Chain A
Amino acid sequence: MDKNAVQDLQSEDRLKLKAIYNEYRTEFLNFGKRYNLNEDDLSDVYQEAFLALRKLAIKGTLDDVKSSMKTYLFGICKFKIYDVLKRKKVKIPYEAKLHVVEEEIQEIEIDREPPLTEKQSLLRNYFKELGEKCQQVLTMYYYRGLNIKEIVEEGGYGNENVVKAQKSRCLKTLRELCNG
């Protein structure tokens, strides 16, 4: 997969993300029409798939993927479409032509995330109560999977010790909120 595109997808750069979002959007909406879903359903699917793709990019899973970003994204979309169809109990129209297209795009399965446990919901609320700096450092560490060194560079911190101290302070606060 195009390394630059994957990098853009990982980034926080709104313009770059929007460019990728728009690059495949129209084509997907056309592609998705054959499944008898309306534009709102399809754009929901597209957004969920886009999020899933970004998380895979962040995780580094996409680096070794051979297929193009579009094919991969559409594969996730397809997986999500079947979910929606199942939920809505819609029968998939079967046409010979459709069948051919179906084979072109490989369905890509994405783990369904279980709902938050009670403790996790609480943690989420406490996390939102933390200061901006704390949220930033924890997000970089947990969500974006950056290590301390990368956080120093990305966040413009003085050195690794500053980040380490900040991170453990924030986690301590979270722990206290949980236990308190």
Chain B
Amino acid sequence: MNQETLLQKYLQGKLAKTEQQEFDALLKSDPEFRNEVEFHSDVNRAISAEEDEKFMKILSDFESEAREKKTEISKFPTKWLVAASIALLVGITYFFTTYQNTTSHDLYVQNFKPYRNVTHPIIRGDQLNDIKTQAFSEYNKGEYKKSVQLFTELYASEKEPYYLFYKANALIQLDRAEEAVPLLNKHLETQDSLTNKTYWYLAMAYLQLDDMVQAKQALNSVVERNAYNAQKAKQLLDAL
């Protein structure tokens, strides 16, 4: 076997037994071959290190893409968004069949009514209506950053506890669970129609923060109170 083939097989770690013997003999007897082996081994190692690092960079890209995807796929409020979409669809259909001559503005206002109905039933006053609509519309579209701002403003002026709840939800979506936790706890101090669901989202927030002790506590509260998602909470607790 010629020296070059021997060398390449050696570098790939593919020398057969007899070839290994041939290689060893050459290494002993031929200083020039020995130098060559050393040089190529060094080149091999250097390129390996470089290529490994390049590949690790690719993998770390994959990893961040996988993590981004995970946060994009909303972990919980989809249920409501689905409900809202269905209600919206029904609303639009109803609207089109009932009032044929509508303006786009009317349509816009109408579009958001079903969603408002799902999330917060009574809205009085046009002024309020607009910020609220905007807030929930951003929320609905997945523009959580914008909705957080709007919910903050709304809560500051109206002090309606459910804004805390929605803001917390949006924050969890934005991977900012640590900010969501105090809001949810505050929301628990009040009693409204959403309080029942707050324990569950509190658990979700703690899960995101990797705080197993608190997450389990919150999940236990869900189960004990037979609150929203109690069944799921039980399954989660079993899994943890």
Contact = CB atoms under 8 A, between A and B. Distances in A.
A25 B66 contact: yes
B14 A47 contact: no
Interface stretch (B15-23, B53-61, B94-102, B148-156): B53-61
Interface in A55-107: 55, 59-60
A142 B8 CA distance: 8
Contacts of A38: 210
Chain A: interface residue count, which band?
Answer: 35 or more
Contacts of A1: none
B12 A119 contact: no
Size class of the B contact interface (CB-based, 8 Å): 20 to 34
Interface string A149-180: 00000000000000000000001001100000
A120 B45 contact: yes
Interface string B10-44: 01111000000000000000000000000110111
B62 interface: yes
Contact of B58 (A17, A141, A174): A17
Interface string B202-218: 00000000100000000
B50 A128 contact: yes
A51 B210 contact: no
Interface of A: 14, 17-18, 21-22, 25, 38-39, 43, 46-48, 50-51, 54-55, 59-60, 113, 116-117, 119-121, 123-124, 127-128, 138-139, 141-143, 145, 147, 171, 174-175
